[in-house]
Structure 1
């Protein structure tokens, strides 16, 4: 009777069984798999770090651009609020002018419980323009 050998227990031409060879190679295969896994994790983490660096750089550039824009807008606002500019616009576009001296009166401060005296101002035509009771 011919006995068939299992694939693991076959004998190689050099006298060693395939099972023994696999058992001797198994630690090397595990070590290789471990190094490959660690290498893949290391490369992945480095790629993520570099990507985050690029994102941070873009965010910093955007922050600098927004700061410059904010400074420009603050300067524009200060220019638009300039009293000399507003007076010029009032004179030229709205036809306004400064009132004559006697038409502008300082009113007493409201407070102290005393009722201020009646103050009234009239323009050159005699029209009442300010009243305080």
Structure 2
């Protein structure tokens, strides 16, 4: 019940295998190869992206460490510049300032939040130093 296929590949009309039947038998293999190739390409692409992200993360961590060091250095510099001893020295040497003597310091009474008075502030001379005081405080 099986048919015998001709063994010779001649140019006869009934003795050849059609191109369509060969392609039909090769089609599953071609699809399988295309599937494996696609999966391989996706796998390689994902690995390349992971490695690239790793390099970017490493670079960002190095930048974060450098910025943290710079921030610490700037905090130390700020603390040094704001030190009271340095500010007093600059005020004395560069600006010619000095600490006021006792009577030149005027303490103003604290105002309560509910009392809103309009007071005029005037300046008076005391031994060559101008001191601001309230008009009604004399």
**Count, aligned residues:** 121
Secondary structure of the residue aligned to 2:132 is strand
Q: Which structure 1 residue ranges, 5 or more long, are not aligned?
A: 12-16
1:124 to 123, 127, 134: 127
- Mean CA deviation greater in 39-48 or 99-108: 99-108
Indicate the residue corresponding to 1:58 in structure 2. 59
Indicate the residue corresponding to 1:103 in structure 2. 104
TM-score by length of 2: 0.70
Indicate the residue corresponding to 1:14 in structure 2. none
- Quick one: distance in 2 between partners of 1:114 and 1:23? 99
- In the TM superposition, what is the alpha-carbon distance from 1:26 to its structure 2 partner? 2.1
- Quick one: distance in 2 between partners of 1:38 and 1:94? 76
Secondary structure of the residue aligned to 2:28 is helix
- Quick one: distance in 1 between partners of 2:71 and 2:82? 16
Alignment of 1:65-104 (within 5 A): 65-104=66-105
Distance change >3 Å, CA 131–CA 22, structure 1 → 2 = same
Does the aligned pair in 1 maintain the 2:106–2:133 contact within 8 Å? no
Q: Which structure 2 residue ranges, 5 or more long, are not aligned?
A: 1-10
- In the TM superposition, what is the alpha-carbon distance from 1:25 to its structure 2 partner? 2.4
